[in-house]
Structure 1
C-alpha cells in the first residue's frame, strides 16, 4: 500500500512537472515568435525558435546524452533549469533595450542558450522515468508525460495568442520564469533512484530519438509558415 501510494505521488509530481514545463515553454516560444513577427514583419523572425532548436539539438545531442548518462540526472535537470532561469532573467532585463536596437539578434542568442538548457533538462528528466517510479508504473508515467506534452502543445498556441494580446511581453517572460522556478521546485522534491549505466544509456537514447523526431516536425512546421507567408 505504501509503495503504491509512493508511486502515485511520484506520478503526480512528475506529470505536473512535465505539463507545467511544457506548457510554459510552449506559450513563451509562441509569444516570442509573435513579438518577432510584429517587430520584423518576417516569417524568419517568427520561426527563429523553431529553426534554432532543432539545429542545436542535432549538433549537441551526442554531448548532451554523454553528460546525462555520466552525471546524476536529477542534478543535470536542476542545474539546467537554474541556468535557464538566469538566462530568462537576463533577457527580461535587456529586453527593453533590445526592442530599441535589434531584438532579432538578441533573441537568436537568447534562444540558442535557452535551448541548450532546455535540451539538457528535457533529455535528463524525460529519460528518468525508471528513476522516478517502479517498473509497474513506467508505462503510466510515459503515457502521462507524452499526453501532457501533446496537450500543452495544442493548448499553447491559443493561450499564447490570448495572453500576448492582453499583457505586455515583459510579463510573459516573467510568467515563463515562474513556470521554470516551479519546475525546479517540483524536480527537487521528486525522488530519483540510481540505475545502472546501460539502463540509463538505453532510456536516454530512446528519449533523444523522440525529441529529435519532434525536431523534424518543427522543421516541417517552419517550412509551412514560411510558405504561407510567401503566399
Structure 2
C-alpha cells in the first residue's frame, strides 16, 4: 500500500514539476529576452550585451561549488523555496525603482547577477533531487518532460517577449516574471524532495561536520574515479569557450547588422527551442541512447558547422524573407543538436552518480564546463566591436571543430565506452532459420 501511495505521489511530482517549470520558464524567458533586446537596442554595442551575459555566467561559475555543498548538506526543498522568495523581493524592488527613477544598465546587471545566484542554487537542488522526486523507472520520462516544457516555453516566450516589448513597458514585463515566480513557489512547496531518496547511512559524524572545502574535495575525489565525468568536463571546457562566439554573435548579427525586428528576432530565437522540443519528443518515445559521448561528439561537430554557416547571408545580402527563413532553419537545427548532446548524458549521470554526491558533482561539472565562458564572453564581445563579425564567427566555428575532433578522439571514446569497440571487434553473426 505504501509503495502504491509513493508511486501516486511520484506521478503528482512529475506533473507539478512540469507545470511549475513551464510557468517559471515562461517568466524568465520573457524577462531575459526583453533585457537582452533592450540593451542591444539602447546601446548598439556587443560589448554591453556581452557584459550582461558575463553577469549571468561568471556568478554561476564561481557559486556552483558553494551551491553544490549547500545542496548536499541542507534540505533541497528549503533551498528552492528560499531562492524563489529572494527572486520575489528582487522583482518587487525593480518594479518600484522603475516607477521612481527608471531602470539603468547597472540595475539590470546587478539584477542579472542576483537572479543567476538564486537560479544556481535552485537549479542544482532540483537537478540533484530528480531521483528523490520520482521512481527510478521514470527518471528518463521526468527529464524528457522537463526538457519538453522548457522547449515549449522557449518557443512561446521570445515571440511573446518580442511582441510585448513593442507594446508595453518594462514594469509590465517585470510583473509577468513576478507572477510566474509566485505561482512556481506555490506549486513547488507541495512537493516531497526525499520521497525516493536512499537513506544515507554511510556518512560518518566526521564527514557530516567537515568544512565546506573538505566536502567539495570529497566531490573532486569522487569525480576522479569516474572517467565519463572527467571526459565530459574536459570537452565542455573548451567547447563552451568557442561556442561563446555564437551566443554573443548571433544576437549581435541579427539585431545590429541585419536590422531584424523584435518580432522576427523573437521568432528566430523560438526556432532554437522548437528544435530542442522535436528532439526531446523523439528521445522520450525511444529507448535510452547508447554511447552518449559518441553521440555528443557528432552533435558538437554539427554545431561547429552551423556556426560557420551562420555567416553566409552576410556575404551576399539576400532578401529579408530569405534571411529570416535561413536563420529560423539554422536555429532549429542548432537547438536539436543541443538536446541530442545534453539529454542522454544527463540521464546517464543521474543514474551513475550517488545521491549524496549529486549536488557537489553536478556543481563541479557545471563549474568545469563554464570555467572559460567568462573569458570567452569578454573576448568575443570586444572582438565583434573591433573585427568584422564574419571573421570572428568563422574562426570560432573552425576552432570548435578542431577542438572536438581532438578532445573526443578515438582513444577518449574508447576509455568511456570500451564495449563499443569490443562490439566492433566481435560482431554478432545472426543465422537465419
Moved more, 44-53 or 200-209: 200-209
| Shift in CA distance, 133/86, structure 1 to aligned 2, threshold 3 Å | same
Bigger share in helix: 1
The answer to whether 1:146 aligns with 2:147 is yes
Q: Look up the match of 1:89.
A: 92
How many residues in Structure 1 have an aligned counterpart in Structure 2? 228
SS of the residue 1:189 aligns to: coil
The alignment's TM-score, normalised by the length of structure 1, stands at: 0.84
Contact kept, 8 Å, 1:83 with 1:117, in 2: the verdict is yes
Q: What is aligned with 2:183?
A: 182
Q: Deviations over 1:55-78 (max 9, x none)?
A: 111111110110111100000000
Q: 1:27 to 1:116 in 2, by over 3 A?
A: same
Cα pair 1:127 1:207 within 8 Å, conserved: no
CA distance in 1, matches of 2:12, 2:23: 16
- Asked if structure 2 preserves the Cα contact closer than 8 Å seen for 1:78 and 1:184, the reply is yes
Is 1:36–1:103's contact at 8 Å kept on the other side of the alignment?
no
Aligned to 1:131: 132
**Residue aligned with 2:192, SS:** coil
Q: CA contact under 8 A between 2:46 and 2:382: conserved in structure 1?
A: yes
Equivalent of residue 30 in structure 1, options 7, 18, 33: 33
Aligned partners of 1:226 and 1:178: how far apart in 2? 38
Question: What TM-score, normalized to structure 2?
Answer: 0.47
Seen in structure 2, the aligned counterparts of structure 1 residues 23 and 201 have a Cα distance that, compared at 3 Å, is farther
More RCO (CA 8 Å, sep 6+): 1
Q: What is the Cα deviation at residue 90 of structure 1? A: 0.7
Q: Which runs of 5+ in 2 are unaligned?
A: 204-353, 390-433
RMSD between aligned alpha carbons? 3.0
8 A contact 1:84–1:118 mirrored in 2: no
Identify unmatched segments of 5+ residues in structure 1: none
Return the alpha-carbon distance in structure 1 between the equivalents of residues 141 and 58 of structure 2: 31
Tell me how far 1:191 sits from its aligned partner: 2.0
Distance verdict in 2 for CA 1:59–1:206, change over 3 Å: closer
User: How far 1:207 moved relative to its partner?
Assistant: 7.0
Alignment partners' CA distance in 2, 1:61 and 1:161: 31
Moved more, 117-126 or 188-197: 188-197
Whose Rg is larger? 2
The residue aligned with 1:116 is 117
CA contact (8 A) 1:84 1:117 kept: yes
